[in-house]
């Protein structure tokens, strides 16, 4: 899970945290039904592996929470699960092309739901101020119970978000020069025979 770490890979972590926070803030400000706050985590998973991706996800939520969005801190375990899952999928070639990346996005969404749904349901009563709150509210108005409504909205919102994020990162990685990506500690994850 953590073979070697070089300086370039360590520099990736704060850059990825900044990407996560910037895109996440845009999505939050616009009340989008997606989050866009894990592109940097997925990038770190591919280039640095699962452990650095977990650190990236965790640091993103802790820093974002400390800088003015305290509810985000509660979702730190979710961000770490995204990093872990993306890193494990990257080790198995899950981001080698857009189709694999889309499948990885779905798998990441399923994995994170095990942590996100209980937090949203039992800590926040299903409402956190994100764009998927509208879907949760609608589902409850149609007769679903809170847990069921949150489950459907979390999986639906995250599948769209994580598939978009995973495919975008996969396309970015494919366009980077091989010499550059080989300088990161997780570069072997991108080779077809890895």
* Residue ranges covered by each domain of the chain: 7-190
Query: Do 186 and 2 meet the contact criterion of CB atoms below 8 Å apart?
Result: no
For residue 150, give every residue at least 6 positions away whose Cβ sits within 8 Å of its Cβ, in sequence order, or none: 117, 120, 121, 126, 136
Query: Do 32 and 132 meet the contact criterion of CB atoms below 8 Å apart?
Result: no
d(CA 73, CA 166): 23
Q: What is the mean pLDDT of the chain?
A: 89
Structure tokens at 48: 């640095």
* pLDDT at residue 187, as a whole number: 54
d(CA 170, CA 111): 20
The yes/no answer on whether domain 7-190 falls in CATH 3.40.50.10320 is no
Mean pLDDT value of segment 94-110: 97
* pLDDT at residue 194, as a whole number: 43
* pLDDT at residue 4, as a whole number: 65
Kindly tell me if the per-residue pLDDT of 2 is higher than 60. Answer: no
């Amino acid at each position: 899970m953590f073979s070697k770490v070089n300086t370039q890979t360590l520099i990736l972590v704060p850059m990825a945290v900044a990407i996560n926070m910037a895109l996440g803030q845009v999505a939050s400000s616009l009340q989008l039904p997606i989050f866009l706050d894990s592109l940097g985590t997925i990038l770190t998973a591919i280039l640095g592996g699962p452990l650095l991706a977990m650190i990236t996800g965790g640091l993103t939520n802790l820093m974002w929470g400390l800088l003015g969005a305290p509810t985000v801190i509660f979702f730190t375990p979710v961000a770490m699960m995204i990093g872990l899952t993306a890193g494990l999928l990257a080790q198995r070639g899950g981001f080698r092309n857009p189709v694999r990346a889309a499948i990885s996005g779905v798998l990441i969404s399923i994995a994170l739901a095990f942590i996100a749904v209980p937090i949203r349901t039992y800590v926040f009563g299903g409402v956190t101020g994100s764009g998927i709150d509208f879907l949760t509210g609608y589902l409850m108005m149609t007769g679903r119970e809170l847990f069921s409504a949150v489950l459907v909205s979390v999986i639906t919102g995250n599948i769209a978000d994580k598939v978009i994020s995973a495919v975008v990162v996969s396309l970015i990685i494919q366009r980077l020069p091989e010499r550059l990506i080989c300088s990161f500690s997780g570069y072997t994850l991108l080779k077809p025979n890895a």
